[in-house]
Amino acid sequence: MYLASATRPDISFAVSKLSRFVSRPGDVHWHALERVLRYLKGTASYGIHYTGYPRVLEGYSDANWISDADETKATSGYLFTLGGGAVSWKSCKQTIITRSTMEAELTALDTTTVEAEWLHELLMDLPVVEKPIPAIPMNCDNQTVIVKVFGERSGATTGITTSSSDDEFLHTDNFFPDLSDFFDNLNMGDNDAAAKCDLFIYFTSLHD
């Protein structure tokens, strides 16, 4: 658990998956654990190397929507890099049942948004970090999600069309408050929200 959360983001998903069966592990789980341990033994020299550049915090968000027939909830994952290496990451089972890949991606992005705000405040409190804090690029590999949380909310023209209805927006407002509240406050002219817009000004596709 320490390695997965502190120094080895490459085993984060595997450890998160295995941790769901700690109360009643079966043979398949023990075999999976042995495989993780063999992998760690063979990659003992692996680690996170920080070069100092780029000096911009950058986030990546993704989701895996129910790839296992025995699962009912998707998996969220995010990673933030700074100075050439990973500084924050997480892989976890989502707490709600999503009806599509878009909703799974929105759930993951909502979780990533919370972490981005926390990291932004942390950098603001560190005297060694140059101010002002640059905008945080938020990378997402789903164009529909980018349109939904940025294009349609802000009224921007992106050239991408979706079939979203008002009911779907209500669903989004209920389950993704950190995303919807930010854009609602920004559109209403909230000064605090406008001051934080650099956090979310870059929603880019990983395929661009």
Q: Looking at residue 130, which CATH number applies to its domain?
A: 3.30.420
- pLDDT at residue 18 in the model: 92
Per the domain annotation, does 196 fall within a domain?
A: yes
User: SS in 3 state form for 81-149?
Assistant: EECCEEEEEEEEECCCCCCCHHHHHHHHHHHHHHHHHHHHHHHHHCCCCCCCCCCCCEEECCHHHHHHH
- Element containing residue 14 per DSSP (H, E): helix 12-18
Note whether 88 and 157 are same-domain residues: yes
Note whether 74 and 134 are same-domain residues: yes
Per the domain annotation, does 53 fall within a domain?
A: no
Note whether 77 and 25 are same-domain residues: no
Note whether 170 and 76 are same-domain residues: yes
- pLDDT at residue 123 in the model: 92
The answer to whether 78 touches 119, Cβ cutoff 8 Å, is: no
Note whether 79 and 19 are same-domain residues: no
Task: Fill in the DSSP letter of residue 68.
Answer: S
Note whether 64 and 145 are same-domain residues: yes
When divided into structural domains, the chain yields a total of 2
Note whether 32 and 63 are same-domain residues: no
Note whether 85 and 169 are same-domain residues: yes
Say if residue 167's pLDDT is above 90: no
Q: How confident is the model at residue 2 (pLDDT cuts 50, 70, 90)?
A: confident
Per the domain annotation, does 75 fall within a domain?
A: yes
Phi, psi of 38 (to 5 degrees): -65, -40
Per the domain annotation, does 50 fall within a domain?
A: no
Q: What is the mean pLDDT of residues 182-208?
A: 41
Q: How confident is the model at residue 155 (pLDDT cuts 50, 70, 90)?
A: very low
Per the domain annotation, does 129 fall within a domain?
A: yes
Higher pLDDT, 115 or 149: 115
Q: What is the pLDDT of residues 176-189, one digit of tens each?
A: 655 555 445 434 33
What residue numbers bound the domain in which 159 lies? 58-205
Higher pLDDT, 144 or 154: 144
Say if residue 94's pLDDT is above 60: yes
Say if residue 33's pLDDT is above 80: yes
Note whether 33 and 90 are same-domain residues: no
- pLDDT at residue 90 in the model: 94
